[in-house]
Structure 1
């Protein structure tokens, strides 16, 4: 489990950086930057634990996750201009974090002996995207998962892969399969610009055809 734990810290750092970067771009004060970084990194796990009855939530009961997120936010404040230039690296770590937290969330449901596939997938999804959704809502943006990008679907696919493989391989291997599937789909979506179709109003479509 050591490798998974290392990835959890990497994902926590990545999400804290992404939240802090957005806060700085929105010109929030230092407290706002730190709070948004903490929210992005920790909220998904907190929501998951509350939903499955794991009280108090792991992210609050074990302070190392809070401390890592806090340090990542402070580092973002200090080195903002340098970090902002490596947006692809942040996307890479964000994809790792999504994969890790999806795997950890789905596995948390299994460890509490929940066997319903829908619930397992939901816990993986909530853990993977929950912090990012709150981050975007707090700064009055449409959450990334609700836009055209393939983000939530990557998490769903990863959780489904964990469920399908759980009966055939060891629990730790099924975690790695979930992580890999989620990460791969997310990175391919970024590379090839895969987008989910947007529902357009008929009046808008007609207007486009007239203009063309």
Structure 2
């Protein structure tokens, strides 16, 4: 349980950083930056909980993640310097958060009784990308999940791996493996500019 809590804290901080930095880049005030950090961290979990009938959502019952997000946003707000120094931090944080929360979403679905891959993957995907989608929509960015970048696909592959790993490995190992696979796929795709094909108007 300790390792799982530590795992979730890492994901919360990672997503809060990405949300706060994007808020700063969009020139939001301290409330907007903090709100964006919270939404990025807990938005996907809220969406997942509503779908699986876990109401009220965990984020409202246990405010720990929101408190961590607030603290993280304030640290970023007061120590932020230049975009160039934070671009890599945004990418790494977002990839780490995607991996962590996809894994947590898959685990939540399984312990709630899900026994088919489609539902587990859907819950992992919604938990992993939900907060980021809300964040991007709020600041009028096209969400990563809808772009050419390999983002949602990384989450889907990791979730599928988790579904199979869960039957053969201890829970915490499955979580770490899922997170690692997603993180590696995401970072590799960014580093080598690997994207999904997009429509091109040849006229």
Q: Which TM bucket (shorter chain)?
A: over 0.9
Asked if 1:38 corresponds to 2:35, the answer is no
Tell me the SS of whatever aligns to 1:136. Answer: helix
Cα deviation for residue 84 of structure 1 reads 5.9
Q: Identify which range, 37-46 or 73-82, moves more after superposition.
A: 73-82
Q: 1:124 is matched with which residue?
A: 124
Mapped partners of 2:73, 2:95: distance in 1: 18
Q: CA deviation at 1:116?
A: 2.1
Q: How far off its partner does 1:100 sit? A: 0.8
Cα distance, 1:65 vs structure 2 = 0.9
Q: Secondary structure at the match of 1:91?
A: helix
**Match for residue 157 of structure 1?**
157
The answer (yes or no) to whether the contact 1:21–1:84 under 8 Å persists in 2 is no
In structure 2, distance between residues paired with 1:195 and 1:12: 26
1:10–1:93 contact (8 Å) kept in structure 2: no
Question: 2:187 — aligned with what?
Answer: 187
Q: Report the TM-score when normalising by structure 2.
A: 0.93
- Supply the distance in 1 between the matched residues of 2:17 and 2:168 (Cα, whole angstroms): 37
Counterpart position of 1:56: 56
The corresponding residue for 2:111 is 111
Aligned partner of 2:202 in structure 1 is: 205
Q: Are the aligned partners of 1:7 and 1:97 in contact in 2 as well (CA < 8 Å)? A: no
1:209 aligned residue: none
Name which one, 1 or 2, has greater alpha-carbon Rg. Answer: 1
1:5 offset after TM fit, Å?
2.3
| TM-score w.r.t. length of structure 1 | 0.89
RMSD between aligned alpha carbons?
A: 1.6
